[in-house]
Amino acid sequence: MQPMTTEQIRVLIARGKMKDTIFQALGIICLAIGLLVIFLLVGDMLMRGLDRLNIEFFTEFASRRAHQSGILSAWVGTILVMFVTAMAAVPLGVAAGIYLEEYAKRNWVTDIIEINITNLAAVPSIVYGLLALGIFVYTFGFGQSILSAGLTLALLILPIVIVSTREAIRSIPAMIREGSMAVGATRWQTCRYHIIPYAMPGILTGVIIGLARAIGETAPIITIGALTFIAFLPPVPFTATGADGVSAGLFDWVMSPFTVMPIQIFNWTSRPDPAFEINAAAAGFVLMGMVLSMNAIAIYLRYRMRKNIKW
C-alpha cells in the first residue's frame, strides 16, 4: 500500500473540516427552527392572554362568565399537589438511588430492579392514573384529594429521580470514595459527607426535571377525579371552617378536593366561547412561568452548591 502524500493528507483534512462545518451549520439551523417555533408559540400565547394577566385573574375563582374567571383555586391546588409530590418522591427516590448505587449487591435481583426502574420511566402517565385510582382512591380510601394526586404524581416521577440520582453518583470520581474509606470513614460517612454533597447538583437537576413533568400532567389527575370546576380553597390549618366554627387541623388540606392548572386549561379550551380560549392562553403562560421559576431556582441552587464544593 502506497503511503499517503502530503497533498492527499491535506485534501483529507479539508474534507473532514468541510463535513464538520456542514454538520455544525445543520445543527444551528435545526436549533434556530426549534427556538423560532417556541418563541412564536409563546409569543402568540402571551399576546392572546395578555389582557387577562391582572390581579383579579390570580385572585378570583373560576366562573361561567369568561371575563370573571380566575385561576385562584387552580394555582393554589397546583402548588399544594406539587408540594405533596416533592415530599413523597424526592426523599424516597434519592434514598433508593443511593442504596442501589452504593449498598446493593450486584446480582440478578439488582439487575431486574434496575431494568424495571428504567422501563417504568417510559410508562404512559395514564397507567399511573389507573394504578392510583385503584390503590390510593379506593383501596386506601384517600378519595379524590390532594393527597391522592400528590402520591400519583410521585409515582410518576419516582423512576426519573432514582435514575438521575444514580447517574449523579456515578459521575463522582472513585478516588473520592477510596480516599474517604482509606482514612477510616464508614460507607455511610462517605456517602453523607462526600458522595451526596458532590452529587447534589446532578440530583437536583433530575428532581426539577421530574417535577417539571409532573406539573404539566393532566391524564392521571383526571383519572383520579380532579374537579374541573371548583370555587373554594383547601382549609387553612388552625382556621375555622363551616358554620360550626371548628378549626381545621394541620393536615386537613391534604384530603380536600382540588383542581390544578392543566385541568383548568383543559376545561377552558373545551368551552365553545372564544373568550375562554383567552383565559386558557393566559393560564398557560402562568403555568409556563411556574415551570421556568422552578428551573431558575434549581439553576441557582446548583450554582451555589458547585461553588461551595471543594475538590
Whether 85 has a pLDDT exceeding 60, the answer reads yes
Residue 66 belongs to what H/E stretch?
Answer: none
Residues 15, 108, single domain; the answer is no
131: in domain: yes
Residue 224 contacts residue 152 (beta carbons within 8 Å): yes
Average pLDDT over residues 280-293: 87
Choose one of 51, 71, 88: the last residue of a domain. Answer: 51
Residues 40, 177, single domain; the answer is no
What's the start-to-end Cα distance of the chain, in Å? 51
- Residue 10 belongs to what domain range? 6-51
26: in domain: yes
86: in domain: yes
Whether 31 has a pLDDT exceeding 90, the answer reads yes
Residues 30, 113, single domain; the answer is no
1: in domain: no
111: in domain: yes
What sign does the dihedral 207-213-217-219 (CA atoms) show? negative
CATH number of the domain residue 95 falls in: 1.10.3720.10
Choose one of 51, 66, 83: the last residue of a domain. Answer: 51
Whether 34 has a pLDDT exceeding 60, the answer reads yes
Residues 222, 283, single domain; the answer is yes
Query: Over the chain, what is the mean pLDDT?
Result: 84
32: in domain: yes
Residues 42, 84, single domain; the answer is no
Q: Residue 38: exposed, middle, or buried by beta-carbon count in 10 A (0-12, 13-18, 19+)? A: exposed
- The confidence score (pLDDT) of residue 285 equals 87
Whole-angstrom Cα distance, residue 264 to residue 267?
5
Whether 193 has a pLDDT exceeding 90, the answer reads no
Residues 26, 83, single domain; the answer is no
Over residues 98-132, the pLDDT tens digits come to 888 888 888 888 888 888 888 887 888 888 888 88
Beta bridge partners of 247: 240
Q: How many CB atoms lie within 10 A of CB 236?
A: 12
Over residues 148-187, the pLDDT tens digits come to 989 999 999 999 899 889 888 888 888 888 888 888 888 8
Residues 119, 189, single domain; the answer is yes
Count structural domains, the chain.
2
Residue 60 contacts residue 287 (beta carbons within 8 Å): no
Residues 32, 120, single domain; the answer is no
260: in domain: yes
> Three-state SS for 241?
strand
Band of pLDDT at residue 214, cut at 50, 70 and 90:
confident
Residues 232, 295, single domain; the answer is yes
Q: What are phi and psi of 184, to 5 degrees?
A: 100, 5
> Three-state SS for 211?
helix
- The confidence score (pLDDT) of residue 1 equals 57
35: in domain: yes
Residues 63, 156, single domain; the answer is yes
Average pLDDT over residues 249-257: 81
Whether 208 has a pLDDT exceeding 90, the answer reads no
pTM, two decimals, is 0.83
Average pLDDT over residues 258-272: 86
> Three-state SS for 52?
helix
Whole-angstrom Cα distance, residue 96 to residue 162?
6
Residues 175, 214, single domain; the answer is yes
Residues 38, 158, single domain; the answer is no
- The confidence score (pLDDT) of residue 245 equals 60
